[in-house]
Structure formats: structure tokens, C-alpha cells
């Protein structure tokens, strides 16, 4: 059974919420909302504003800004599937070399979820979801990389009990964050957004307002 946190990085399926806001209302709403939300959460629950500013706020703002930005671009399925496949192979290799076997499996599963949904959306649903899927993957990859870098730096230089920065530790934070959140964003994001657009058609981006739901 997977733990509910890895060090200070929690299991966070709620990542789908700022992803939806970013896709519906744009990158600035998604990025600022996610950054402010994680900061308040970290201060109230953990009492650690410095770690939040270093890792949580920066990763959430940049990551979900990218989700919102890319969600409104036109993306080709083939290039996204190949590109994410290459990234997956690289992540599996470094996970095998520097972390535990469970992280290799998590990386593989995250790509399989993306691949299955990409093929499903391409065949049965509007092509507009491909942009959200690619935006979710790209934004979360960048956000997770920031966490993987900044959390070890915090514990080496700013924590009461210092811990040496290691490549394996940083990669473990990165892979844990990405693989435990991406599935929720990919699976739950599109149907939630579709319901919002159905209830409030004016929220749909102008370039999508003539497309079928």
C-alpha cells in the first residue's frame, strides 16, 4: 500500500481542482489560486511558510499556469504521445538507477493512463481534451521538478535538522509528486470541465465555443 505522504510532500489528489480552474478560467487564475491555496494550507497545517514559498508556491504557480496556458493551445496527439513516451522512458531509467522499484512502476502506470485516455478521447470525444491532457502532464512535470529540487535544498540549508542533498532524494520527491497526482488530473479533469461548460457555456474559451461538447 502506498503511503499518504513522502516526507513533507503529501498524497494530493486535490491537484485536479486547480487544474480545472486553470483550464476553465485561464493560466493566471489557475496559477495564482494554486499558489495562494497551497501557501495557506502549508501555513495552517504545517506551520512552515519558508518551505511553502520555496517549493509549494513556486511549483504550484508555475505548474498550473502552464496547465491553463497549454489547455488553450492546439496540440497534436502524435507528438504528445511520442514526447511523453520519451520522457517516461527517461524517468523510468533514472527511477531504476536512483530510487526504489515502486517508482519505476508508478512512472509506467502514469504513462499508460495518459496513453489510454489519449486514444479514448481521440476516438470518441472532442479533440479539445488533448490540449488539457498535455497541459496537465507538462505543468505537473515542471511543478514536480521544482519540488524535487527545492525540498532537498530546504532540508540541507534551512531546516532545524539538516539533511544532505542527494540526487536520489530529489528524484524521489519529483517522481512521487508527479505520479501520485497526474492520474487524478487526467481522469477527473475532463469530465468536471465538461460539466462546467455544459452548465455555464460562457466559460468556454472563445476558440472552443463552436466545438461540440
Q: For every one of its 213 residues, what pLDDT tens digit does the chain have, with 9 covering 90 and above? A: 345 777 777 778 889 999 999 999 999 999 999 999 999 988 887 778 999 999 999 999 999 999 999 998 887 777 788 888 898 898 888 888 887 788 888 889 888 888 888 777 766 555 668 889 889 999 999 999 999 999 988 888 888 777 776 777 888 889 889 988 998 999 999 999 999 999 999 888 765 555 544
- 74: three-class secondary structure by DSSP: coil
Residue 34 has a pLDDT of 95
CATH number of the structural domain spanning residue 175 = 1.10.1760
Q: How many domains does the chain have?
A: 1
- Structural domain of residue 40, as residue ranges? 11-208
Classify residue 137: in a domain, yes or no: yes
Residue 210 has a pLDDT of 53
Residue 123 has a pLDDT of 64
Residue 76 has a pLDDT of 75
Say how many residues make up the chain.
213
Residue 208 has a pLDDT of 57
Classify residue 108: in a domain, yes or no: yes
**How far is the CA of 48 from the CAs of 3, 52, 93, 143, 157, in angstroms?**
21, 6, 33, 19, 14
Classify residue 5: in a domain, yes or no: no
pTM: 0.84
- Rounded to the nearest angstrom, the gap between the alpha carbon of residue 95 and the centroid of all alpha carbons in its chain is 18
Classify residue 77: in a domain, yes or no: yes
Classify residue 3: in a domain, yes or no: no
Alpha-carbon distance of 91 to 86, in angstroms, equals: 9
Of the candidates 58, 64, 67, which has an alpha carbon nearest to the alpha carbon of residue 146?
A: 58
Residue 126 has a pLDDT of 59
Matching residue, cell 497545517: 45
Classify residue 213: in a domain, yes or no: no
Classify residue 35: in a domain, yes or no: yes
Amino acid at each position: 500500500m502506498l503511503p499518504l505522504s513522502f516526507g513533507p510532500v503529501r498524497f494530493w489528489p486535490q491537484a485536479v481542482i486547480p487544474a480545472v480552474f486553470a483550464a476553465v478560467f485561464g493560466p493566471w487564475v489557475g496559477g495564482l489560486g494554486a499558489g495562494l491555496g497551497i501557501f495557506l494550507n502549508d501555513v495552517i497545517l504545517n506551520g512552515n511558510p519558508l518551505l511553502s514559498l520555496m517549493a509549494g508556491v513556486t511549483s504550484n504557480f508555475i505548474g498550473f499556469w502552464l496547465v491553463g496556458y497549454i489547455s488553450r493551445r492546439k496540440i497534436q496527439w502524435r507528438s504528445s504521445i511520442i514526447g511523453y513516451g520519451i520522457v517516461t522512458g527517461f524517468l523510468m531509467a533514472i527511477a531504476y538507477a536512483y530510487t526504489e522499484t515502486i517508482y519505476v512502476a508508478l512512472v509506467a502506470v502514469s504513462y499508460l493512463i495518459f496513453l489510454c485516455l489519449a486514444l479514448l478521447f481521440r476516438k470518441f470525444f472532442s479533440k479539445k481534451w488533448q490540449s488539457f491532457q498535455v497541459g496537465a502532464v507538462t505543468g505537473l512535470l515542471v511543478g514536480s521538478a521544482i519540488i524535487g529540487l527545492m525540498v532537498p535544498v530546504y532540508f540541507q540549508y534551512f531546516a532545524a535538522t539538516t539533511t544532505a542533498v542527494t540526487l536520489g532524494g530529489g528524484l524521489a520527491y519529483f517522481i512521487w509528486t508527479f505520479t501520485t497526482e497526474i492520474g487524478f488530473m487526467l481522469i477527473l479533469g475532463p469530465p468536471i470541465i465538461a460539466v462546467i461548460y455544459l452548465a455555464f457555456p460562457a466559460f468556454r474559451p472563445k476558440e472552443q465555443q463552436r466545438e461540440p461538447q
